[in-house]
């Protein structure tokens, strides 16, 4: 074949989980009972009212029509009301909130709208790989800023100030943090807003985990002056077990959102109306939904803690989100080696911390997204050192 791919593809690799999950499928096909705790793929069912709304609206006349690029008034209103109720943040539903096909779309939109080829993007290490991958695809320069355990996995503003002197257009921030589970606080958000205002750097806060095992729900948009210099992404994937629906949002000052909409309208044709109605229904759920799902995650996390104690891993219990971040035993060279040990000796797939950045090399990440009985099987395998000999 003489068709060459675009040069930009040379700057990115196939997503780690894409390759590894293919291996997991192959091992299962060979009869190996692999427990997948590698990814944050919520296993609990979407709420029945959201499904009912989806089914009812699918049969309605004109439900298959093209929808507005910026989403229906129904969904934008539901997102605005949700932010007011959950985060005590007022969003103008007409101009300050934009529905997305999952918040991952927002990473691409934000970079396309505000970053030119050659501009610098500040990315956390460790952090969500999509931030750097998107910047590479679009020809931006990546400058990592360090998050470390002795700093509670929060940014070092002395380092950020030095990096700002070199020029930067955008900084990605994500709290509660993935993969470490570190929590945000208002002091951090105030510092970030001040940093962005002084240096003319857009603060992009990715906030999909704030409703998972987290008592203090925070939005960066609750800080005075934040809308002028920051955007916040959010999603129904984790908080409402609707990851396959692909419903997210971005919020901020109407001028910032307008730039995103300008990009989105040139490659998108709107979201399927029944999905928007299902999302609006899900956003109206009361606290019982969040409490019940968190009760399940809490129970699972306690089992993971017991497993980590048996594995001689260290971890913090004061974290949020649907993952447990654990430091590996000193007898292993890095998280990749330890993850391979768990996979090939115990049939347990977890994510090596190095895929999130070099500061994660001595860690692994356990997901809380699997059936309850799989956590008990995992614990028993570890207790008995039950090898499955892959």
CATH code, domain carrying 307: 3.90.1150.10
Residue 362 lies in a domain: yes
| One domain, residues 308 and 243 | no
| One domain, residues 279 and 302 | no
**What is the separation of C-alpha 227 from the centre of its chain, rounded to a whole number of angstroms?**
21
**What is the separation of C-alpha 167 from the centre of its chain, rounded to a whole number of angstroms?**
26
Look up the CATH number of the domain holding residue 124: 3.40.640.10
| One domain, residues 68 and 88 | yes
Helix 103-114 with 254-264: angle, nearest 10 deg: 100
Whether the Cβ atoms of residue 327 and residue 126 lie closer than 8 Å to each other: no
What SS3 class is residue 180?
Answer: coil
- Would you say the C-alpha torsion 68, 71, 75, 81 has a positive or negative sign? negative
| One domain, residues 34 and 67 | no
| One domain, residues 37 and 69 | no
Identify the pLDDT of residue 4.
83
| One domain, residues 253 and 310 | no
Token representation of residue 372 = 């309850």
Structural domain harbouring 342: 7-45+288-384
**Boundary residue ending a domain (261, 283, 305):** 283
Q: E strands of the chain, at which residues?
A: 35-36, 97-100, 120-125, 141-146, 170-173, 202-206, 230-235, 248-252, 314-315, 323-327, 348-349, 351-352, 363-367
pTM summary value: 0.94
Identify the pLDDT of residue 23.
86
For 232-257, the pLDDT digits (tens) are 999 999 999 999 999 999 999 999 99
**Out of 39-43, 303-307, 386-390, least confident range:** 386-390
Instruction: Quote the number of domains for the chain.
Output: 2
The Cα–Cα gap between 172 and 149 comes to 19
For 109-138, the pLDDT digits (tens) are 999 999 999 999 999 999 999 999 999 999
| One domain, residues 181 and 300 | no
| One domain, residues 253 and 200 | yes
- Would you say the C-alpha torsion 110, 113, 117, 120 has a positive or negative sign? negative
**Boundary residue ending a domain (264, 283, 302):** 283
């Amino acid at each position: 074949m003489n068709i060459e791919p675009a040069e930009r593809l040379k700057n990115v690799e196939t997503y780690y989980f894409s390759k590894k999950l293919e291996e997991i499928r192959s091992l299962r096909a060979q009869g190996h009972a692999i427990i997948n705790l590698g990814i944050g793929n919520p296993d609990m069912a979407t709420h029945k009212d959201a499904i009912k709304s989806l089914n009812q609206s699918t049969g309605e006349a004109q439900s298959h029509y093209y929808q507005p690029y910026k989403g229906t008034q129904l969904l934008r209103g539901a997102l605005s009301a949700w932010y007011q109720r959950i985060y005590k943040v007022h969003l103008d539903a007409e101009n300050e909130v934009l529905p997305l096909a999952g918040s991952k779309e927002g990473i691409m939109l934000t970079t396309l709208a505000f970053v030119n080829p050659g501009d610098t993007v500040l990315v956390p290490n460790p952090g969500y790989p999509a931030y750097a991958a998107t910047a590479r695809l679009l020809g931006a320069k990546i400058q990592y800023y360090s998050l470390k355990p002795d700093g509670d996995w929060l940014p070092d503003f002395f380092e950020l100030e030095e990096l700002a002197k070199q020029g930067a257009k955008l900084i990605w921030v994500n709290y509660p943090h993935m993969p470490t589970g570190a929590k945000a606080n208002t002091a951090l958000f105030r510092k970030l807003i001040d940093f962005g205002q002084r240096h003319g750097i857009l603060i992009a806060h990715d906030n999909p985990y704030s409703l998972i095992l987290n008592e203090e729900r925070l939005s960066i948009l609750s800080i005075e002056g934040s809308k002028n210099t920051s955007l916040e992404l959010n999603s129904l994937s984790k908080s409402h077990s609707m990851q396959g629906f692909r419903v997210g949002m971005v919020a901020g000052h109407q001028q910032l959102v307008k730039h995103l909409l300008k990009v989105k309208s040139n490659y998108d044709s709107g979201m399927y109306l029944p999905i928007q109605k299902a999302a609006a229904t899900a956003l109206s759920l009361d606290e019982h939904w969040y409490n019940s799902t968190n009760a399940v995650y809490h129970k699972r996390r306690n089992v993971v803690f017991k497993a980590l104690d048996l594995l001689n891993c260290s971890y913090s219990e004061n974290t949020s989100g649907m993952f447990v971040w654990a430091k590996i035993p000193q007898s292993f060279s890095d998280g990749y080696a330890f993850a391979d040990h768990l996979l090939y000796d115990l049939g347990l797939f977890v994510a090596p911390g190095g895929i999130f950045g070099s500061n994660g090399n001595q860690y692994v990440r356990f997901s809380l997204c699997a059936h309850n009985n799989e956590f008990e099987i995992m614990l028993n395998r570890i207790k008995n050192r039950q090898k499955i000999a892959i």
